[in-house]
């Protein structure tokens, strides 16, 4: 059982939902990323999605686009991001880490080289935004052989047949994009999400994490009632942007944002 599957199974047995924060590696500076990852765990994160900065993040809105720019200014590369995970693993052997990004950096590094390095560093899953399962024939076997979870996206417009097909190629969890748009672009409609996620659960046995549009404890709890986990991204990245000049204030701000979400999700189990 993968580290991701193990954590999600434990949480399910406790009646609890996963809190999965996203930050962009290298933002606001590569030297701070590991420290921020530990801050997220301390605030209640169950799994971390670590964004690999890319020059053309097509699925992301302005907030994460700017985070990628800040990271790339410092020369943050895919190899460096993998190195950050390796450093994180020196003191945290338990929290799963998912690398979230785009295909080009992996292809430039070499898929097999990337997969080997990711496993060696302690990466648990890969979410490649612009890689649909139909085009993953070269990459997917490399991940499977190395027990790296391949995580794919589902959208509000994804058909039933495609949900089944994507689920067959997925492991760990599937990521349901709750809005029709880029990250940070729209307010979440919880009723629509509840209906869609319930339907997805009828079509796959995999846990369903919901992302895009979760900004506070209230929406985290609302989404947590109908999903297996909530994925929080843009609001955290925006918090980093606004507090990047003071690392201590930044860590407090991230904790102040994430900890109430943790409490709200845990209240669902009582």
Q: What is the DSSP letter of 135?
A: G
Q: Which residues 6+ apart lie within 8 Å of 145 measured at CB? A: none
Q: Which pair of tokens denotes residue 178?
A: 């709750």
Q: Which pair of tokens denotes residue 153?
A: 């996206």
**Coil, strand or helix: which one is 229?**
strand
Please give the angle made by the CA atoms of 236, 103 and 1, to the nearest 5 degrees: 75
Strands 174-177 and 208-211, by their bridges, are: parallel
Find the helix packing angle between 234-242 and 62-73, rounded to 10°.
50
Q: Return the active site residues.
A: 49, 60
- DSSP states of 231-244: EE-HHHHHHHHHTT
């Amino acid at each position: 059982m993968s580290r991701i599957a193990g954590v999600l199974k434990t949480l399910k047995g406790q009646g609890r939902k996963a809190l999965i924060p996203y930050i962009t590696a290298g933002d606001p500076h590569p030297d701070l990323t590991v420290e921020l990852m530990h801050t997220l765990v301390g605030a209640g994160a169950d799994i971390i999605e670590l964004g690999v900065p890319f020059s053309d993040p097509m699925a992301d809105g302005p907030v994460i686009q700017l985070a990628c720019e800040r990271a790339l200014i410092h020369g943050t590369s895919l190899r460096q991001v993998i190195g950050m995970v390796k450093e994180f693993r020196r003191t945290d052997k338990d929290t799963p880490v998912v690398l979230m990004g785009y295909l080009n950096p992996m292809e430039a590094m070499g898929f097999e080289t990337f997969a080997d390095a990711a496993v060696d560093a302690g990466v648990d899953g890969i979410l490649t935004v612009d890689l649909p399962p139909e085009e993953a024939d070269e990459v997917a076997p490399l991940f499977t052989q190395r027990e790296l979870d391949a995580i794919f996206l589902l959208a509000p417009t994804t058909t039933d047949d495609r949900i089944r097909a994507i689920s067959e190629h997925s492991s760990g969890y599937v990521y349901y994009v709750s809005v029709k748009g880029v990250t940070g672009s729209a307010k979440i409609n919880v009723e629509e999400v509840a209906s869609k996620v319930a339907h997805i659960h009828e079509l796959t046995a995999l846990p369903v994490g919901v992302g895009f549009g979760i900004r506070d404890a209230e929406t985290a709890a609302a989404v947590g009632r109908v999903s297996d986990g909530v994925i929080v991204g843009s609001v955290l990245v925006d918090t980093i942007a606004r507090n990047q000049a003071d690392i201590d204030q930044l860590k407090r701000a991230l904790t102040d944002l994430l900890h109430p979400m943790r409490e709200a999700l845990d209240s669902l189990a009582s």
